[in-house]
Structure 1
Amino acid sequence: MGTMVLLDLMGGVALLLWGLHMVQSGILRAFGPDLRRLLAKAFRNRFTSFGAGLALTALLQSSTATGLMTASFAAEGMVALVPALAIMLGANVGTTLIVQLLSFNVAAVAPVLFVLGLVAFRSGGRSKLKDVGRIAIGLGLMLLALHILLDTLAPAESAPAARVLLKAITDDPVLCVLTAAALTWAAHSSVATVLLIMSLAYAQFVTPAAALALVLGANLGSAINPLVEGGRRGDPASYRLPLGNFLNRLVGVVVLLPFTQPLAAELQVVVPDMAKMTAAFHAGFNVVMALAFIGLLGPIAAMLTRLLPERQTAADAGAPRYLDDGAVETPSLALADAARETLRMGDLVETMLRKVMDALMNNDRALVTEVSRMDDAVDRLDNAIKLYVTRLTRKNLDDSEAQRAMEIVSFAINLEHIGDIVDRNLNELAAKKIKRGLQFSGEGAAELIDFHRRILESLRIAFGIFMSGDVEQARKLVAEKAELRGAEIAAAERHLERLRQGRPETLETTSLHLDVLRDLKRIHSHVSSVAYPVLAAAGVSTAAEGHLPGFAPAVPRPS
């Protein structure tokens, strides 16, 4: 008897957690970008931040998810600490709303949710309708799990062993707090833990005072995961937000724990139903903590800033900044992060291109070393981006997301090739020129500088095309490629004319000059590759560039 009850309880809790996961993943897949934009717009002050945290968590039903998302914003310096703390106060209140709803007898709605959810999931294809179906099925599973828990606990009231075990745990309020906190940390959800406590309280397996102590523990446990997972190793400042949220929970628990007995007696008079009383206390605790702390966020932020100062070590250019592992479950968010990281990689490549020309023109040996070091960072970023996007392609991407994933990988590959040309060709030419003490002629130097300027302008246009998919800019970039081919021929002819005139500088640097022109043109071929998928998607012929009309390869190759 006891074994079957335990198995049924474990199955009910597992079903509850899976339903909660389906609701969260469905909302993130369907509305992830909108939710992230909501957070970004809410950072004006603590009150709008509080409202955004409440609304977002009411949808996601996970203050942990909101906490990790906000922690990533704060760690990247995109949001000040005070509004970030206000978001967490709102998140703590928002997570109580589903508990309030499920405290009523709504189990009869579960079959309707299953039917509607299945129809939407099966007929939605790759649209948002499929994700809405996932949400409906998840809610149905949560209601079914609660029904299972209540049905399982009802006959177990007569089992002496179960009562003895629970009494041993719940007689000590501190042990109640620690047990519930551990369960919430393991489940990554205070909602699931509080719903379980409601079931135990309704079946009178725990006393009213023990139920309140367990709720306090669940609220404390919900702050542990952002503290463990929300910071960045080696960066103390990234732990300010999760630590502030944890301290808010801890203060509330320490203050209220001694008063659980009288509070339970008072609440029972107002709300005789034990399940509803548990849900009401959960909501009241979070509202009171929000009201108590929202006016103190300034001093709290100042204290956390003093306790956890900014990391003083130099940033690693090759370490990804925007590839958020927490966004992988939401492809649209993850693709935006990957595109952002690719642009940062592009910035490094542009800097390399500028510095190598300075080294060529000014015989600067220090710049040659710096460019080689930067290429190592570019290579590491390229690997990180490709691995990140590869993880995404294992998810259920729609056609537009799959196409965007290919565009990101393609552009990252071409940027890495540009970095290799700069490091292994232009940088070696600069080192050779410095070693021999050579100088370009005035006319030759001016030609190379002008050619280099056009490459940089094309690279900036390519960045814009990569982000916006602008067809006109793509046409412009491909046209520039053809013009640059003519410019290279003209520059080579002028160089040969200077050779015929017997100019000493030209004679000494002839191979260097022609090699630099060749390598810059190769770089432009990689730069212009970003335009072909855009033109192909618009049905624009690229036959002039050696491609079939209306077609571009998934991973463009320089011609």
Structure 2
Amino acid sequence: MKHLLNLLAAVALLVWGTYLVRTGILRVFGANLRHVLARSIDTRPAAALAGVGVTALIQSSTATALIVSSFVAQGLVALPTALAVMLGADVGTSLMAVVFSFDLSWLSPLFIFVGVVMFISRQAMPAGRFGRVLIGLGLMLLALRLVAESTAIIVRAPAVQALLLSLSSDIMLEVFVGAVLAVVSYSSLAIVLLTATLAASGAVPMDVALGLVLGANLGSGILGVLVTAKSTIEARQVPLGNLVFKIVGVAGFMFLVGAWLRYVRPYLGEPAQVVVLFHLTFNIVMALVLMGFTVSVAGVVERWLPKEDKSMVAGRPHHLDPSALSTPSLAISCAAREALHQADVVETMLIGMLRVMRENDLRLAEELRKLDDTVDQLYSAIKYYLTKISRDALSEDESRRWTDIISFTINMEQIGDIVERILIDIEDKKIRKGRNFSEAGMAEICELHARLIDNLRLGMSVFLNGSVRDAQKLLEEKARFRDLERAYAGTHLTRLTDNTVQSIETSSLHLDLISDLKRINSHICSIAYPILDSAGALAPNRLKQVVPEAEGETSQAL
């Protein structure tokens, strides 16, 4: 029993080490890996090579599938090209299996020691996150050695030897078991390495080991489909197409296991090498043979999962992809895109508000007030989505972006509330009472409204691009808008002294309205503060230095 527990603990350690490496690499290089993929997939062969390189680094074809799926969902990459990336990604994981099959156990204590020192001393910095990667690599190498030692003891037991002798190869059962293990462990690489180690120790026959390897490959395809099950249609198409390739490849290689053992095994040496090279051969043949069928498979997948009608509101692309949460940089981008959609809804409310004032359209006012519920729902969804992103997994820039998104969505939500109150006031104090603004008053409101729309669009640009120059321009607009609001309040009071009937009737509404527009503008301009603060372009105190002079006058008086 003790040796069995040791084996199970070693397997768990192998899975955990694989997880540390995958998440650590994504935390350190996540954004850069996305840029590499985005720039390297002009053609299908180039896309496959990019998939090989990125997946060899992060050691997870599932993680690559999530990144590529987001590109397809954004319309940046065509589905056939994305499927070519996934064919390369599978080759990348099999290459890493070959590397780990060598005896690298001597590196384990070095990686763990250096990794722990780096992680503890600089935990919040990229060096600390890279230390996490080294810890994961060290644990993987240590786990492989522990698995080999534990199985070597277990297989010497008479009962286990009798059980192994009674095993007969059932390829379908082996594929099923391998697929289940890959899904449960969230890593086909870990299962392939475990299988290679068990085969080397004699714990499983070679034909059974190859069946488990085929199942692990199939399991990685199933895992991608399960992880993206709640994502958008476009994001789900890539894992589904990859699963189709896996099914075709496994079905074909099931009949080649015997030929591999008969004709290829004598030239490969150690059992572990036989297993990992079979895994590598499987994925290389898959990539070479199926590369020409990516367009056909993409067509089949698009028929199975047709895209939603984006002309309908309910069919708009929702960017808060749950599957992206495992990649913090990708999740931050998803949240930013959804925040921009929230701002689009607010812009619709602001534009429609002026039409309500001009045309006294009660029906439009009601529709616009309902949009505030949409703004509130988007705010809640974005906030909840961001809270599910591990702050420890974010770099300094990503953490700052996280805060910017929260601040932006809060401002948009508050603007929506103000617009809703303005619409209610217009309905109650103007439309239902049959009152109208004076011609001059309406012109002033239109001027403030036009500036407000321009500032909102500039604020959205600042949020999207982080331009310091645009942020400074937006902050300058805040002062101009404040001065304009004061001037128009003064001219309105002048019209009251002239006994202008329309100005008298709408005086309260007019003053409240231009004050509310100023408040909206303040929320918009506050988008600039985080950008200027991070760039060091924001003064710590904007108060004039009048205190020393006052103190001097006091001392003179004394």
Same fold by TM-score greater than 0.5 = yes
Superposition map of 1:58-73 within 5 A: 58-73=56-71
Is there any run of 5+ residues in structure 1 with no aligned partner, and where?
Answer: 550-559
Q: 2:224 pairs with 223, 226, 229, which one?
A: 226
SS across alignment from 2:274: helix
Structure 1 stretch 313-322 or stretch 455-464: which is displaced more? 313-322
1:347 aligns with 2:344: yes
Q: Which residue does 2:462 correspond to in 1?
A: 465
Q: Distance in 2 between matches of 1:547 and 1:212?
A: 79
Please show how residues 313-352 of structure 1 align to structure 2 within 5 Å: 321-352=318-349
User: Shift of the alpha carbon at 1:542?
Assistant: 6.5
Change (3 A) 1:92 1:439: same
Residue 357 (structure 1) aligns with = 354
Structure 1 residues 164 and 523: CA distance shift in structure 2, 3 A: farther
Change (3 A) 1:7 1:56: same
| Counterpart among 363, 378, 382 of residue 381 in structure 1 | 378
Aligned-partner SS, 2:437: coil
| 1:268 alignment partner, one of 254, 259, 265 | 265
Q: In structure 2, how many angstroms separate the alpha carbons of the residues matched to 1:167 and 1:111?
A: 37
Change (3 A) 1:510 1:313: same
Q: Per-residue CA shift, 1:362-391, capped at 9, x if unaligned?
A: 222332122122211111111122223334
Q: Deviations along 1:187-221, whole A, 9 cap, x unmatched?
A: 11111111111012112222222222111111101
Provide Cα deviations, 1:75-103, integer angstroms capped at 9, x if missing partner: 34332211111111111111111110112
- Letter of the 1:348 counterpart: V
Aligned counterpart, 1:33 = 31
Residues 203-212 or 13-22, more deviating = 203-212
Letter in 2 for 1:56: V
Which amino acid in the other structure matches residue 21 of structure 1? Answer: Y
Q: What SS class does the counterpart of residue 389 from structure 1 fall into?
A: helix
Equivalents in 2 of 1:108, 1:420: separation in Å?
Answer: 63
The structure 2 residue matched to 1:105, chosen from 95, 103, 113, is: 103
How far is the alpha carbon of 1:393 from its aligned partner?
6.1
Counterpart position of 1:488: 485
Secondary structure of 1:451's counterpart equals helix
- Equivalent residue for 2:184? 186
Classify 1:254/1:178 alpha carbon distance in 2 versus 1 (closer, same or farther; 3 Å).
same
Partner deviation per Cα, 1:98-152 (whole Å, 9 max, x = no partner): 1101122221221222232233223334221112211111111111111111111
Q: Partner letter of residue 242 of structure 1?
A: P
Question: C-alpha distance in 1, partners of 2:472/2:398?
Answer: 24
Q: 1:180 corresponds to which letter in structure 2? A: G
Q: For residue 154 of structure 2, what is the amino acid of its counterpart?
A: A
Identity %: 41
Deviation at 1:168, TM superposition (A): 6.2
Within-5 A mapping of 1:49-64:
49-64=47-62
For residues 393 and 96 of structure 1, the distance between their equivalents in structure 2, rounded to whole angstroms, comes to 30
Whole-Å separation in 1 of the counterparts to 2:451 and 2:250: 64
Distance in 2 (CA, whole Å) between partners of 1:4 and 1:196 is: 19
2:184 partner letter: A
AA aligned to 1:198 is A
1:47 equivalent in alignment to 2:45: yes
Match of 1:251 in 2: 248
Going from structure 1 to structure 2, the CA distance change for 1:431 and 1:40 (only over 3 Å counts) comes to: farther
- AA at the equivalent of 1:50: A
Conserved in 1, the CA contact under 8 Å of 2:230 and 2:322? Answer: no
Partner of 1:552: none
What amino acid maps onto 1:517 in structure 2? I
2:442 aligned with 1:453, yes or no?
A: no
Change beyond 3 A, Cα 1:398–1:462: same
Structure 2 unaligned blocks of 5 or more? 548-558
1:366 and 2:349 equivalent?
Answer: no
Alpha-carbon distance in structure 2 between the residues aligned to 1:443 and 1:163: 98
Q: Which residue number in structure 1 is paired with residue 276 of structure 2?
A: 279
**Cα separation, 1, equivalents of 2:390 and 2:116:** 25
Pick the aligned partner of 2:122 from 121, 124, 131: 124
Q: Does 1:158 align with 2:156?
A: yes
Does 2:104 match 1:95? no
Give the alignment partner of residue 205 of structure 1, picking from 198, 203, 206. 203
Distance change (3 Å), C-alpha of 1:545 and 1:406: farther
TM-score for the superposition, normalised by structure 1: 0.90
Segment drifting more, 25-34 vs 383-392: 383-392
User: Compared with structure 1, are the counterparts of its residues 82 and 130 closer, same or farther at alpha carbon in structure 2 (3 Å cutoff)?
Assistant: same
Q: Give the C-alpha shift of residue 153 in structure 1.
A: 1.3
**Tell me, what secondary structure is at the counterpart of 2:308?**
coil
SS in 1 for 2:432: helix
Amino acid at match of 2:431: I
Instruction: State the number of aligned residues.
Output: 546
Q: Which moved more, 1:65-74 or 1:176-185?
A: 65-74
Q: Which residue number corresponds to residue 176 of structure 1?
A: 174
2:554 is matched with which residue?
Answer: none
Equivalent residue runs for 1:527-538 within 5 Å: 527-537=524-534, 538=536
Question: Are the counterparts in 2 of residues 426 and 519 from structure 1 also a CA contact under 8 Å?
Answer: no
**2:84 pairs with 78, 86, 103, which one?**
86
Correspondent of 2:132 among 131, 134, 143: 134
**Matching residue's letter, 1:512:** L
Q: TM-score, normalised by structure 2?
A: 0.90
Q: CA deviation at 1:528?
A: 1.9
Alpha-carbon spacing, 1:337–1:486, altered in 2? closer, same or farther (3 Å): same
SS in 1 for 2:254: helix
Say whether 1:295 aligns with 2:292: yes
Q: Which residue of 1 aligns with 2:147?
A: 149
Deviation at 1:406, TM superposition (A): 2.9
Q: 1:122 to 1:236 in 2, by over 3 A?
A: closer
- Give the one of 489, 506, 509 matched to 1:509: 506
Measure, in 2, the Cα distance between the counterparts of 1:377 and 1:5: 58
Equivalent residues of 1:237, 1:311 under 8 A apart: no
Distance 1:473 1:111, change over 3 A: same
